[in-house]
Structure 1
Amino acid sequence: MLRDNQQFNESIKPNSAFLDELRQKMPEFFTATKYDEEGNVVESSTFDNEKFQQALKEQNIDELSSGYRLDFIGKNYAKKQAGERPTTMIVPDNDHNQKEENKNSKNLFFTGDNLEVLRHLQQNYANSVDFIYIDPPYNTGSDGFVYPDNFEYSDDQLKDMFALNDEELKRLKSIQGKATHSAWLTFMYPRLYLAKKVLKDTGVIFVSIDDNEQANLKLLMDEVFGEGSFVADIVWEKVHTRKNSAINFSSSHEYIICYARYKRNSSNEKHGFKRNLLPREDTDAYSNPDNDPKGPWKPDPITAHNYYDANYTIEKPNGVIINRPSDRFWVYSEKTLKEKIKNNEIIWGKNDSIPLVKRYLKDVQDGLVPITLFNRNFAGDSSQAKRNIDELFPESRGIFDYSKPVQLIVRLLQIGSDKNSIIFDFFAGTSTTAQAVMKLNSDDGGNRQYIMCTLPEPTFTVNSDGKEVPTKGGETAYKAGYKSIDEISRERIIRAANKIKEENPLLTESQDFGFKHYRVVPPTQETLEKIDYDDQLQLDLFDDMIDAFSSEKLGVAGNADGFDTILYTYLAKDNYTFDVPLQMIDFAGIQLPYVNNQRIYLIANNWQAENTRALVNAIGKNELLVQTIVVYGYTLEMESVRELEIALNQLENKVNLQVRY
């Protein structure tokens, strides 16, 4: 687990994640791993660059231009982070999750560092997410962003990892705690890289940003997702008032950059992301006052400013001759117009007015192609975003000032999701996205699921005499009793769900209004020191290595014991979603989780020979179908592990035994 991951992370190089992806997609360009007679690795698999270059030459790649790339201080470090495994634990909030409205919910809320959450979800949500929306820090200098990584590796380790000299090391470490462009790019790169890996081939990501980092974000996403995956750069009208105090221009917009995992480039392509049409909302313009058998219609002009090669006169039923206007053109040929007259599709009007043509609702496509300009009437603005929150927190108006309007996220969901999509927002803030998902589900009967993630950013600081002082902008939240932003975020989801249920009582039984809550938490320093132990030390040092991961010992709420934390961390690692079928099976007095009718997790203190016999007998008698047994190594003596291994080897059915640290 943590020790295994720490050792793995030490071996990660800046290109490790990329090589792993190449190995999965193009294994033919890697040499085979060589072993000695005892099974030890003699020569690791490596990328055969000469073979790869030869393959490129056969495709005439040499004739193409060399292109360009994005470079910044910290890029190699960011690429290393993208390949590392999590060093935190997933702690379930049992107090919340066991409530009736939450216990069967498929919605998820993670409190913690989103980079660690993304690392945890690489297995159980790989290629599973349909839609991502994020609103990351804009790095404006006033939004509180500073590069958060503390460079846990020593200077010598960093030099060795990235082949740095003293000056280069100094430049790398200069981004720590800063809000430079390089710091922001180093922060965003691994998060976007890992986000791409959880997206389906048909998935899409929308990222909000302003002018400060828009150009850098576009280049970064070109690199991570590929230039060919760019879909659109949407301009959103965030305010409609002019700020006359502005020195140059009064800024009234932000951007939402959209990329697909794979983009379709024609309507004939069957693979990749396909945007939806927006629902047509002007059907009231269509009516049928003359009981036309072809159904509702609305009047449309038969002239346009565009040039059409049609020049004729029209005789109205009242005998008036209508010539083509000098500044406009007929949009139909004379033959087509006569057909429309014959089919009663022309509205003649009075006197010498120019006739109109009927446009039938049945002939209009199911929706509207989205455009890249979102005005406030279409997608809401910052004022509406504030109203969205104030309506839910009337007792604490102004509790949060920097969210997006629900209507904006609903519009993006209409374009990029279907009724059964999984929606992910790992910069969730106050969970506008979760509210938008619930609202759209209530509007169209969908079953979209959401995954939210946000930091437990405090609304207060502690001064020198130990007194809590509200942060700038956090006064209202702190006075209302919210010590961190994630508390507001979860409460918003609960209140928004109740509001939707009150407005739509028939939805109560059919829609998922709950969510499961998990905290992603690093172990205590004492536990970390025990994890980094010498193999020769006695295992009795680790008698408390289960309880060390309880919510109480980790300093968080939720009433989870260490067993819960270890189990859920393992489930994520082993590609299981958090609603996987699980039952507790008794083996001579010790209960173990049996997961998905295939895997047992041996997480227990005081495991003895009689427990091993009960476990092996149950498998041998085919009472349980078991493919893998995962052993939490800190609490099992080597003798007990060996005893279990020997007993399993005597079974007819092969059972894979994994011991983790």
Structure 2
Amino acid sequence: MIKDHLQENENVKPNTAFLEELKNKLPEFFNDGGFDLNKFKNALKENNVNEFSEGYQLNFIGKDYARKQAGDAPTSVIVPDNEHNQKEENKNSKNLFFTGDNLEVLRHLRNNYSNKVDVIYIDPPYNTGNDDFVYPDKFEYSDKQLKEIFGMSDEDVSKLDALKESKSHSAWLTFMYPRLWLAKQLLANDGVIFVSIDDNEQANLKLLMNDIFGEDNFISNIGVEISKTQGNKVGAAKKGKIVKNYEYILACQKNMNEFKRVPLYDAGRVWDQHYTIYYDGSQFTNLFEYIYNSEIYSEFKKDNLCTRNGKLNHEFIEKGILTNKKIKDFFYKESANNIYRKMPANLEIPEDVIQKLKEKSILEYNDHLLILKGENNFDQLLSFDEGIRKNDEYNSEYTRTTIRGNLWKGFYSDMMNVKSEDGVSYKNGKKPIRLIEQLIKWSGKKHGIVMDFFAGSGTTASAVMNYNNDYNANLNYILVQLPEDLDNRIKNGSTEVKKEARKLVKLLDKNSVKRHTIDEITALRINNARRNINEMDGYKHYFAVSPEKETLDKIYDFDPENYELVSDMVESFSSSALGVPGNASGEDTILTTWLAEDGYDFNTDDLVEYDFAGYKAFGIKDTRLYLINGNWHTEQTKDLLNQLGTNKLKFQSVVVYGYSFNIIDMKELDIGLHQLNSTVSLIKRY
């Protein structure tokens, strides 16, 4: 487990993750010696591709180190929060919330959630210089190892070392690179990722996402209006400063050929003077003439929406729609599909539709009315009803609409209320529910997984629940949040940081939460959001925890011949030993971590409990048996072999926790399995 991964990471190079991805996509260029570069170059030449053509790439101090981080295996364990997970609302939930370092959690999820996540939204640190960002990841290698692994010079090592506790652009890119690389592995083939950012790192993030996802898979840089030039900003604006009104969301897809979006709509002008035709199904009439002879005309006259001699114009129609509900209903509901305009340019019409038109003279086609004018000559009329729908603005209503582009206006209205959403005031970059909900809507997903590995106050979970409720969808969420210590913020933060931290601690104390950490704010927000919409489904909670130094020392010093040295290596991974709540045993932690490593998701229904001469074990039926606890001896081996030999049980492999088995019992089990059935493999993990 930990020791296996530590040894594995010693062999990971900066290009390991890239080569693994390349091997999955182009296996024909790999052999026992690794990647066959000559074969690859020949293939390029055969297809007239010049691998030496001009180009550019993003380089920064720490990039090779970041690339290696993307390929490293996790060196933490996943501890289930049993007390929480066994509650009625949580035990069958497919929603997941992880407390821990998001880089470690992403490394775990790479094993069991690759190509399964449909939407990722993250709001990472902006690196403004005023926020809390400093490069947090630990450099786990000595200067000598850095030189050997990365081929660094003394000067390079000094530059990399300078990233520690740094707020530089290179530090931020080194921090983001492995997280975005792993995020790409988790995305489904038609998945999409959205990343919030501002001007400080927007340009660098664009290059980084192009580097990881490919320039062709970049969708858009969305400008989100988060404020108006008002309040304190007015004074700065009057002095000539261009104040900040917009932030950005960069969107990338996993595969440009797979992603299909759903349009969002903003309110358009309520009336368009080009609509001048009324069609009742049998004859065409000038729109004004029709109104003069209908009951709705009295509403125009009553509100003085006509000239002195009773004539209407388009300006009166627009005013009527805005001020008189009956007039609005006439145009938007009762007669919308009877009102038409002539199209300025004809669209291409399939030949079979044209033949039908020649038979009927008038034909409805894709919200258009086709009218035959002569041989191969026809008019196309567009229905007023085509543009009327519920818009996606702050005060959503049925109106004429326009399709939203990459300028998302009006979210300053949400920002004025964002502090009160779900009863959790979280000043540090809290985003509106509507913003994330509309990103999800735009992605076109109704089923699947939405992920946020910078969960913060938990807005993404709230957005998913609201989206499910509003659009009859069935999405689940995966959240990850570092358990940042609020008491430490109060002790060491700036004046503003201390003030905000005290508010959050007060909120936690009010709700009888003992741990003063940001992940508890996330959990509180999720529960408040559930209550607000009467959502019954909860979430499963896990901790990603690195072992204590004492445990790591035992791992490094392990000698299979010395059984007594590691007799407590199961309970070393219990929740109490690792310092987290939840009442998980060491076996629970090891089993959960192994299931993830072997590709089983956290909601698997295939886990079965087995008994071998009084020894309790768990496994996946017909696939894999896990032996974790000690006290496995000859009697248990005989029982297992008997059940396998009589076909009562069937496994492809038996996985044993090496610290719990002395060398004699391990060999006896290995020999017995081999003699019984050579297809059942014994896997030893440490």
Provide TM-score, normalisation by structure 2. 0.79
Choose from 620, 625, 628 the match for 1:603.
Answer: 628
Structure-2 change in CA distance of 1:653 and 1:195 (3 Å): same
Choose from 197, 211, 215 the match for 2:199.
Answer: 211
Post-superposition shift, 1:471?
3.4
Structure-2 change in CA distance of 1:363 and 1:75 (3 Å): closer
Post-superposition shift, 1:625?
2.2
Structure-2 change in CA distance of 1:139 and 1:333 (3 Å): closer
- What residue identity is the alignment partner of 1:273? F
Post-superposition shift, 1:31?
2.8
Q: Separation in 1 of the partners of 2:415 and 2:120?
A: 21
Q: Separation in 2 of the partners of 1:489 and 1:164?
A: 41
Identity of aligned residues (%): 47
Structure-2 change in CA distance of 1:458 and 1:278 (3 Å): same
Choose from 554, 560, 568 the match for 1:544.
Answer: 568
Q: Which residue is 2:530 aligned to?
A: 497
1:155 aligns with 2:143: yes
- Report the secondary structure of 1:5's partner residue: helix
Q: State whether residues 260 and 444 of structure 2, in contact with CA within 8 Å, keep that contact through their aligned partners in structure 1.
A: no
Post-superposition shift, 1:489?
0.4
Post-superposition shift, 1:385?
1.9
- Report the secondary structure of 1:61's partner residue: coil
Q: Separation in 2 of the partners of 1:175 and 1:446?
A: 44
- Alignment RMSD: 3.5
Q: Separation in 2 of the partners of 1:612 and 1:536?
A: 19
CA shift digits 1:490-522 (9 cap, x unpaired)? 111111011101xxxxx75xxxx2100000000
CA shift digits 1:54-79 (9 cap, x unpaired)? 22122222287320011100000000
1:402 aligns with 2:415: no
Q: Separation in 2 of the partners of 1:299 and 1:619?
A: 83
- What residue identity is the alignment partner of 1:262? N
Q: Separation in 2 of the partners of 1:100 and 1:614?
A: 36
Alignment of 1:117-516 (within 5 A): 117-242=105-230, 243-246=233-236, 248-264=241-257, 272-278=258-264, 292=280, 332=344, 359-361=383-385, 369-376=403-410, 381-389=414-422, 392-393=423-424, 398-461=425-488, 471-480=498-507, 481=509, 483-501=516-534, 508=536, 513-516=537-540
Q: Separation in 2 of the partners of 1:375 and 1:556?
A: 43
- Report the secondary structure of 2:582's partner residue: coil
Q: State whether residues 277 and 366 of structure 1, in contact with CA within 8 Å, keep that contact through their aligned partners in structure 2.
A: no
CA shift digits 1:386-416 (9 cap, x unpaired)? 2314xx24xxxx4544210000001100011
Structure-2 change in CA distance of 1:361 and 1:591 (3 Å): same
Q: Separation in 2 of the partners of 1:236 and 1:463?
A: 32
Q: Which residue is 1:5 aligned to?
A: 5
Q: Separation in 2 of the partners of 1:403 and 1:25?
A: 39
Q: Separation in 2 of the partners of 1:257 and 1:464?
A: 35
- What residue identity is the alignment partner of 2:243? S
CA shift digits 1:79-103 (9 cap, x unpaired)? 0100000000100001110000000
Q: State whether residues 461 and 471 of structure 1, in contact with CA within 8 Å, keep that contact through their aligned partners in structure 2.
A: no
- What residue identity is the alignment partner of 1:228? D
CA shift digits 1:157-210 (9 cap, x unpaired)? 111111112111101110111010000000000000000001111010000000
Structure-2 change in CA distance of 1:283 and 1:638 (3 Å): farther
Q: Separation in 1 of the partners of 2:165 and 2:139?
A: 11
Indicate the structure with greater helix content.
Answer: 2
Q: Separation in 2 of the partners of 1:570 and 1:283?
A: 58
Q: Which residue is 1:593 aligned to?
A: 618
Q: State whether residues 399 and 474 of structure 1, in contact with CA within 8 Å, keep that contact through their aligned partners in structure 2.
A: no
Q: State whether residues 551 and 560 of structure 1, in contact with CA within 8 Å, keep that contact through their aligned partners in structure 2.
A: yes
Q: Separation in 2 of the partners of 1:419 and 1:299?
A: 41
- What residue identity is the alignment partner of 2:615? I
- Report the secondary structure of 2:191's partner residue: strand
Indicate the larger mover: 149-158 or 538-547: 149-158
Q: State whether residues 265 and 403 of structure 2, in contact with CA within 8 Å, keep that contact through their aligned partners in structure 1.
A: no
Post-superposition shift, 1:24?
2.1
- Report the secondary structure of 1:177's partner residue: coil
- What residue identity is the alignment partner of 1:442? N
Q: Separation in 2 of the partners of 1:123 and 1:658?
A: 17
Q: Separation in 1 of the partners of 2:502 and 2:241?
A: 32
Q: Separation in 2 of the partners of 1:66 and 1:419?
A: 42
- What residue identity is the alignment partner of 2:180? L
1:19 aligns with 2:12: no
Q: State whether residues 91 and 540 of structure 2, in contact with CA within 8 Å, keep that contact through their aligned partners in structure 1.
A: yes
- What residue identity is the alignment partner of 1:489? T
Q: Which residue is 2:77 aligned to?
A: 89
Structure-2 change in CA distance of 1:240 and 1:634 (3 Å): same
Post-superposition shift, 1:652?
4.2
Post-superposition shift, 1:649?
1.6
Indicate the larger mover: 153-162 or 227-236: 153-162
CA shift digits 1:188-246 (9 cap, x unpaired)? 00000000001111010000000000000000000000001011110000112431343
Q: State whether residues 461 and 470 of structure 1, in contact with CA within 8 Å, keep that contact through their aligned partners in structure 2.
A: no
Q: Separation in 2 of the partners of 1:245 and 1:642?
A: 79
Choose from 575, 578, 590 the match for 1:554.
Answer: 578
Q: Separation in 2 of the partners of 1:485 and 1:333?
A: 57
Q: Which residue is 2:681 aligned to?
A: 656
Provide TM-score, normalisation by structure 1. 0.81
Give the paired residue count. Answer: 581
Q: Separation in 1 of the partners of 2:620 and 2:266?
A: 46
Structure-2 change in CA distance of 1:464 and 1:385 (3 Å): closer
- What residue identity is the alignment partner of 2:188? K
